[in-house]
Structure formats: C-alpha cells, structure tokens
Amino acid sequence: MPEPLLRPGAELLTPRRLLELDRQHVWHPYAPMPGRRDPLVVASASGVRLRLAEPAHGTSELVDGMSSWWAALHGYNHPVLNEAARAQLDRMSHVMFGGLTHEPAVRLAARLVEITPEGLEHVFLADSGSVSVEVAVKMCLQYWRSSGRPEKRRLLTWRGGYHGDTWTPMSVCDPDGGMHSLWSGVLPEQVFADAPPPGFDAEPDPVYEAHLRELVERHAHEVAAVIVEPVVQNAGGMRFHSPGYLRLLRRLCDEHDVLLVFDEIATGFGRTGALFAADHADVTPDVLCLGKALTGGYLTMAAALCTPRVADGISRGEVPVLAHGPTFMGNPLAAAVACASVDLLLGQDWQAEVKRIETGLRNGLAEAAGVPGVRDVRVLGAIGVVQLDAPLDAAGMAAATEAAVREGVWLRPFGDLVYTMPPFVTDDEDLALICRAVRAAAEAAGGKRA
C-alpha cells in the first residue's frame, strides 16, 4: 500500500511538510507546476496583519498592502463579519437557488439595487468575478438575439483591461497582457480600441474620443456591448482615466444600439473614492459586474446587475430565460457576510477613510518618484501605484517582494508595477510602513529589471 500523504489524525502540518506537499500537489495562481518559489505560509490573519507560520526575513507578521486582491476592505477576522457568518452558519450555509430563495440573497440583491447607480434593478448572483462577466456578456448577447439581431455578438473594449481568466473575460483582457497570441484561433476575436489616455483629472482628449466614436460607429452592427473597467484599469496595468470617456461611451452606445457593461469587480465599494467608479461619471451602465470586495474578502461571490430593458428584452425572447445557474448561486453564507460588509462600510464615514488613505499614499509615495528606474507614481482613492520604466523578470519580482517583506509588508509586484490597495482600516502608522515598503520594493527592483 502506498504511504498515505497525511496520516489520519496527524497533528498540524509542520511548515516544512506543508511546503513539501504544496510543491508536490498544489497549483498556485499564474504559476508553473511545481512552483519555482516557496510561498509564505499564513497561519492566521487579523486586522491588517497576516501572521506567518514561520518567520520570513526576520518577520512573522506582515501588514497587508493588497487587501487579498482588492477584497478585504475591512481587514481580517472582523468581529462583525465573523458574527454574520456564524449566525448564518447556524441557520444554513447553503441551499440550492433553483425554486428556492432565502433572506440573505434577497436582502443583498435589494441592497445592491439601492446603492448602485439608478436604473440597475435586477441582480444575478454569481460565484466569482469571472463568472459574473460571463453572465453579463450572456445577458447582452441574448438581449440582441431576443430582439432579432443575433449578428450583434462581438464585444468592444479598450486595450489595457482585465476582466478575469475564464474564456470570455480573457477575450476582452488586454491582448498582450492577456497573452492572446497564445490563444489565437481559440479566443473569440473582439474589437479593441487603444488604451484610454492616462490621468483621472486629465481633460478628455478629442483625438481619442474621435477614435472611440469611429470604432463604435464602424462596428455597431456586429457589437453587442462595450465592456470596460470604469476609471481604473486594474490588473491590466493600474491606469486611471477621465470619467469623461465613460460619459462618451454611454452616449455612443445609446446612439448606436450597443449595450454598455461596467466591470466594477475591483473598483466597487469605495476603492476609488466614490462608492462605485461609475458615480464619478454619473453614468448608469446597462449591466454592472461586482465582486472582490462584495463579501469584504470573506467568501467568493459576485453579481451582475442589469436594467429592466435588458431583463425584459431577454424575458420576452423566443427562449425567455437566462440559461445560467451556478450550483452555489446566491450562497446564503456569502450573501449574509456581503450584507454585513456593505452595512459596515456604509455605516461609517467611508469617504473620510478613503480620503485619509489617499492622502497618506500621496505623501508616503511622493519620494518614490525620485527612485532610479521609477517612471510614474500615481494615487487615486485607496490605490497607490509606482510604475517602473521596465517590466520585472521573475528574479526582479522576487527581489521586490522580499524587500517589502523585510519591511514587514505584504506586496505582490507584477509587470512594471509595485502597487498597494490597503484595507480601509489601515491606520496612518501602518500606511506609512506600507509606503516605505513600496519604496523599498521599487528600489530593490531598480537593480533587477529585465
């Protein structure tokens, strides 16, 4: 008989054994198998701190500068969210959503309708951000099919975007960053505009606006929807753009019978200084995707919200249903925590907190502009970005990460970016520490650029 990997009843794995098993069996994000570098082992987390199972580079606690990929806006192990999860766990952690409903999902949907831009009234609860993008796209394509225009099935977006890792989202990710060349002939070919000119405060560029207009006009007959991340392009390069382009897209879509989808999976729930990035432009999309911070980083859940126009169009069609129904749709545990997270956020002066973090990041990162190899430093809301003048290779990324860890901070630099989007509960002292770590990471990267 082969030796069991884990003896039944074995006590906690030692960090060393855990890493051995990890290396042999566990596939990590964006990594080969086996991974080339050992991940850090986190034993627990609370507030803004990750506690390591074993000290790394002289530290056993790291201040989290990443909010676990935009999600943990209230920090970890929050008593209010813990209590919401516990209370729901005692009722039921899950029941199917076909033919059944329950208070956490209904309460969450109603709450999302209340706080998102006016006009979005129907909510499809999905189980991850990528799936909510799939659902949003399915809604748009089906809307046009139901309206007798099945030829409208392509998507239009701008370069530099990121919309998730399943197939349809991949097809609208930046063609270079999303490795479209690897998948040519496999991914549906979408219509790409140039990346929007940078700068949240920059006046919209008339030349770029004409480019968008021309592209929408030329492809409107075959395009079902324009899909973009409003105001901040996140994993595709951490770039900010003028809300003016969103107003233009809304006008163009209305004029040319194209639907507009905003992917606010990263920007939703206050991150950019407005509750939703669409609020900066005062624009309502036809479909809105939410995820990441929806449950305060506790559980996986996302949502696609749409207007009555989209819902009616689908429901009046030849096939009058949206044929989508994830097994864990509307998961009560996630929905209950999401409700608690939204209440927790809106029950405080969250704008003041985000403003405070914005100021802290501006002050703390200003000096990074002088670091050799740094091309740009930019801050919007609770997002701080240091862009290098060349992308990091694997060794550069490891050096930058290690430099941050030495400062006692968790960052995950990628491409030409060292960036942070800390939990909103990060206090000024920890924020200053994060800024120091970003600078240290940029300095360490400086010598090790590809």
Ligand X SMILES: *Cc1c(COP(=O)(O)O)cnc(C)c1O
Length, in residues, of the chain: 450
Q: How many other CB atoms are there within 10 angstroms of residue 36's CB atom?
A: 9
Residues of this chain, 254-283, that bind ligand X according to CB under 6 A: 263, 265-266
Q: Is 263 considered catalytic here?
A: yes
Question: DSSP labels for 43-72?
Answer: EEEEBTEEEEEEEETTEEEEEESSHHHHT-
Q: What are the phi and psi torsion angles at 391 (to 5°)?
A: -65, 150
Judged by CB under 6 A, which of 155, 223, 235, 293 binds ligand X? 235
Among 76, 127, 152, 162, the active-site one is 162
- CB within 8 Å of 11: residues ≥ 6 apart: none
User: What 3-state class would DSSP assign to 403?
Assistant: helix
Residue among 142 and 168 whose Cβ is closer to ligand X: 168
Smallest separation, CB 82 to ligand X (Å):
22
Strands 154-158 and 223-228: parallel
Answer whether 305's CB lies under 8 Å from 290's CB: yes
Instruction: Note whether 232 and 239 are within 8 A (CB).
Output: yes
**Residue with Cβ nearer ligand X (39 or 308):** 39
d(CA 364, CA 422): 13
Q: Which is nearer to ligand X, 333 or 368 (CB)?
A: 333
- Choose, by CB under 6 A, the member of 50, 133, 223, 290 that binds ligand X: 133
- First and final CA of the chain: distance in angstroms? 48
- Residue nearest ligand X (C-beta atom): 129
Closest approach, Cβ 416 to ligand X, in A, equals 18
Least distance in angstroms from the C-beta of 67 to ligand X:
12
Q: Does 163 bind ligand X (CB under 6 A)?
A: yes
Taking contact as CB under 6 A, which single stretch among the options 1-9, 117-125, 227-235, 334-342 is the one that binds ligand X? 227-235
Nearer to ligand X, 132 or 142 (CB): 132
Of 286, 292, 416, 419, which one is the catalytic site residue? 292
Q: Judge whether 162 counts as a catalytic residue.
A: yes
In degrees, rounded to 5, the angle at the alpha carbon of residue 121 between the alpha carbons of residues 352 and 330 is 85
101-130: contacts with ligand X (CB under 6 A):
128-130
Among 134, 229, 279, 407, which residue sits at the site for ligand X (rule: CB under 6 A)? 229
Residues placed in the known binding site: 69, 129-130, 162, 263, 292, 325-327, 412
157 binds ligand X (CB under 6 A): no
Q: Verify binding: residue 238, ligand X, rule CB under 6 A.
A: no
Contacts of 145 (CB under 8 A, 6+ apart): 317
- Examine the residue annotation and report whether 30 is marked as an active-site residue of this protein: yes
Q: Whose Cβ is closer to ligand X: residue 144's or residue 162's?
A: 162
| Total of residues contacting ligand X (CB under 6 A) | 16
The residue from 64, 127, 174, 263 that is catalytic is 263
Integer Cα distance of 262 and 133 in angstroms? 10
Q: Which residues are annotated as a binding site for pyridoxal 5'-phosphate?
A: 129-130, 263, 326-327
* Closest to ligand X by CB, 232 or 433: 232
Residues in the annotated binding site for substrate: 69, 162, 292, 325, 412
291 scored as a contact of ligand X (CB under 6 A): yes
Distance CA 252, CA 301 (A): 31
Q: Does 234 bind ligand X (CB under 6 A)?
A: yes
Q: How far is the CB of 268 from ligand X (least distance, A)?
A: 9
| Closer residue to ligand X in complex, CB, 165/312 | 165
The CA R_g of the chain, rounded to the nearest whole Å, is 22
Q: How far is CA 11 from the centre of its chain?
A: 36
What one-character-per-residue DSSP string does 203-260 give?
PPPHHHHHHHHHHHHHHTTTEEEEEE-SSEE-TTT-EE--THHHHHHHHHHHHTT-EE
- Rounded to 10°, the helix 394-406/428-446 angle is 150
Smallest distance, ligand X to C-beta of residue 376, A? 21
- Scanning 47-55, 157-165, 200-208, 432-440 for contacts with ligand X by CB under 6 A, the matching segment is 157-165
**Which residues are designated catalytic?**
30, 162, 263, 292
Binding site for ligand X (CB under 6 A): 128-130, 133, 162-164, 229, 234-235, 263, 265-266, 291-292, 302
